[in-house]
Amino acid sequence: MAANESQLPDTPPEQHIQFREKVEDAFQSVAGVIKASTAALPTKTGDGSYIAKTKPTGLLDDLPHLRPGDYRTLVDEGKSLLTGDPINDKTYLMERLLKLASELPANNKESSLFSNAFVQQLYDDLQHPPVAQLGNEHNYRSADGSFNNIMAPQVGAANSHYARSVRPQTMQPADHPDPADLFDTLMARDQFKPHPAKLSSMLFYLASIIIHDLFQTDHWDTTKTKTSSYLDLAPLYGCDQTEQDAMRTFKDGKIKPDCFSNKRILGFPPGVGAMLIMFNRFHNYVVDQLASINEAGRFTGPKDGANKTAYTKYDNDLFQTARLINCGLYVNIILKDYVRTILNLNRTDSDWDLDPRTAKLTGPTANGTPGNQVSAEFNLVYRWHACVSENDDKWTQEEFARLFPGKDPSQVSLPQFLTGLGMWEAGLSPDPQKRVFPNLQRSADGSLDDDALVKILADGTRDVAGSFGSSNVPTILKAVEILGIKQARSWNLATLNEFRAFFNLGKHDSFESINSDTKIANALRHFYDEPDLVELYPGLVVEEAKYLTGFEAGNGLCTDYTISRAILSDAVGLIRGDRFYTVDYTPNSLTNWGFSEVSSDLAVDHGHVFYKLFLRAFPNHYQPNSIYAHYPLVIPEENHVILSRLGQVDKYDFNRPAPIHRPTPITSYAACKYTLDNQEDFKVTWGKAIKFLMQNSGKEFGADFMLSGDAPVNANSRRVVSAALYRDKWEDEVKDFYEQITLRLLREKSYKVSGINQVDIVRDVGNLAQVHFSAEVSRYHGHALLAQD
């Protein structure tokens, strides 16, 4: 056999392969003829041809087509999809993916999926339709909230109908329980229960502003709300153009001092109005700053002799920009102070917050900013009368007595109550500044007394609120609750269990699940027969409240189970649906100064910003580190416990706000000499600040420092420091140092532009020279400030 093989002619391997392929092709052709002759005739086409069927290849079929670099491409793309981090386009990832797709067979399933995904990504990169535009027509908030969504301008505008969040499907009985019986049995306060988290009334004053910012039912058509569906400070600025015009001075962008638009707020405890007045003052402070800074010439005042149009534009630009900035602080207070306290984050050392404006959430793939439309269900979610404090309950009783003199509140019928409120509101002046608040006298410029306003706010900060849950609503609010129950029924809303199902919460399958209190559960059983028939209102009021999650994040509001879930969804929707808090919330819209002014700083109170409002509104009363300004939503005593546990209590001043004596300018030589010589009666004004800066763990070490006072010990400190700093020929040495460092910095920092040497003389020379001088002095004394030049 071997001999025979050796006698075969030598044939190249390539010819063997070619011969083999020819044989295979011949057999395939014969097989194809046999298959075609036995196949059914083509009857599914008109021309008698067969329909071609293409079988897509799978991943295993494609592996031979992949090269080593293609696997790296797939890994990089997978990382990008998983992390969501920005793509480093210098790695040519997009081009590598295109190359990979182009090399796969045309009938490849993965190639089709990739192509579709790539096209979808390119489409999603842009907004369809765009939510922001150039032009001046929609740069500012409209008075009534229209054009927040430019493509659907009436979404969320004032005087719109309430939306319906949940479709009611439960067949409810025609005869409902009597609202008065429901109140007396389930809601009426038997005794005051302080809030378990020791929340102050200030939190609920802010909540009242938010509620009336979003909900103001039209009494002539209760399916409508007279205010917009956006957090635009309507209680201050007004719900429409007429109300807004009544607030404006039409001079230099300012609004009338120490007043607000919403008449109904005057029927609330004065702390609500005092908080709005702080926003009023912040607006006018912002206007002054905008005009003074005049960033990029945006607010250049009209020249003498300019026409009325120029003055109108100047005033309007200042007013509208200040309004955007004021609303920016307002929404940051809501997110950074209010929501953090609701989630109990104020009791932790965490910087985390629930901010729905995160770039990844508000980008075009998150449906842009579709707008918002408040619903009737959420009108009921925010009725938190159970949290009215004892002091505010007493105030309300006194106001009720003035409104209905000589009448027992329990005997005032609902029609009488509504008539009385209508007459009271009609008697208020249409000019906000002419309304009395609350029995305070206005000065010649229209402002109210600072001492009186600060007292109202400080009292509210010290006033512990009530608890959520059944049997906690003050009896003076019986008529208000009866009206709420009847209003809810007129809207034909879903039941409590249906509302819970909307948020994917388990339904209450027993009355004890709604409230474990036997008395309340039995009363509900008597009124409703089945848990599924319990109405949304008063169900939201009588549902059992959550417990406080101690010093851990979770639940600080301690509201009812359903409400605690619903309000978070609403908060996210309100912010993400508002163009002016997402795509148009920019330094360009608010100015660089305004954007920075209202932004949070994690180094201060973990990002809380409420203190900015207090310090701007009352700079002569609140100390910079006052606990009343930094954490006003919890009573000071509880804040002391919280901050002690966190090791931060020494940072804050727990004294009640009081007038701060400001320095008096001295303009004569004699007065100046007398003041400097009299060290007993006149002290340096910065002594307290120096001591604060030099403290360590709450202990002051700077009392004897040379700049802290005028006592002999301070004078001795000055002599010691002077001897150390001001040696022989020190002036010449300082002069030589500055000359050398200035020349050095000029050489190092200068650069050529169009062939001419230029330098930022302030940033790169003047400021740095000072830093180098301080570092050199410190290094000479053994305390180096700079690791390197």
Instruction: Please give the positions annotated as active site.
Output: 382
As a residue count, the chain comes to 789
CA distance 35 to 50: 13
Which amino acid, residue 296?
A
495 bridge partner residues:
535
Burial of 533-555, coded b for 16+ CB within 10 Å and e otherwise, reads bbbbbbbbbbbbbbebeeeebeb
| Rounded-to-integer distance, Cα 578 and Cα 232, Å | 10
128 is in an annotated binding site: no
The C-alpha angle with vertex 691 and arms to 689 and 697, in degrees rounded to 5, equals 120
Q: Tell me how far apart the 2 most distant CA atoms of the chain are, in Å.
A: 135
Alpha-carbon distance of 537 to 11, in angstroms, equals: 96
What torsion, rounded to 10 degrees, do the Cα atoms 484, 490, 496, 499 define? -110
Residue 438 CB partners (closer than 8 Å, separation 6+):
266, 270, 273, 456
Between CA 483 and CA 486 the distance in angstroms is 5
Q: Where are the alpha helices (DSSP H) in 334-449?
A: 339-342, 359-362, 376-381, 390-403, 414-426
8 A C-beta contact, residue 372 and residue 578: yes
* 248, 255 Cβ separation under 8 angstroms: yes
CA distance 568 to 344: 13
Sign of CA dihedral 606, 608, 609, 611: negative
**Partners of 188 in beta bridges:** 473
**End-to-end C-alpha distance for the chain, whole angstroms:** 89
Q: Can you say whether the dihedral through the CA atoms of 654, 655, 660, 663 is positive or negative?
A: negative
DSSP state of 265: G
Would you call 606 exposed, middle or buried from its count of C-beta atoms within 10 A (0-12, 13-18, 19+)? buried
Residue located via tokens 């993400």? 576
Q: Which residues contact 209 (CB under 8 A, 6 or more apart)?
A: 233, 235, 265, 272, 275, 276
Helical H runs in 535-657? 536-542, 561-576, 587-590, 592-598, 610-617, 627-630, 636-646
Annotated binding-site residues for heme b read 385
